[in-house]
Structure 1
């Protein structure tokens, strides 16, 4: 895939651009039985639930890649003002969305 710059800022130093529109990437992951068992044990003794942390990390990476693909399909060079949002679904699934504004550089 072509490299699509992703930034959380509104401006990219030294670049002028036109706005192409909003783009997003979403993924939903399900927790497995073994992760839930481990999480329940951690609730008793405390500590990080590493399988959930990894799942969320992987979900963020996947949502960014899907957002980049959506930007590429619009002919964008970058995504500005990128943000994340996440939510639980039915108690055992986690949805992560990356979203931002696709832009095309004017001064290539």
Structure 2
């Protein structure tokens, strides 16, 4: 083994172990998970116990009241167009039946 290779291995081992300077910045930051930065402050974590969580407790009552409220607020937007479309379809069906009947053919058969 050549001495230069042994020195290179030695330097790499020291850098990986965290006992030498950072090759980029020249300052040792600490090993993984302990990077030498100050501890973080003012971080608050909240938790809720799993046996206190019940996401479906108000599912049915909320669905009923929300459906009623949303339908009541939107009824004037969809009832008039629905009524107009129904009346137009009813008129078109009756007119088609009349034009394809014996009196309708007699009245409009030439045109």
| Structure ranking higher in helix proportion | 2
**TM-score (norm: length of structure 2):** 0.29
Q: Which has the larger radius of gyration?
A: 2
- TM-score normalised to structure 1 length: 0.30
- Structure richer in strand, relative to its length: 1
- Structure ranking higher on relative contact order (CA contacts 8 Å, 6+ apart): 1
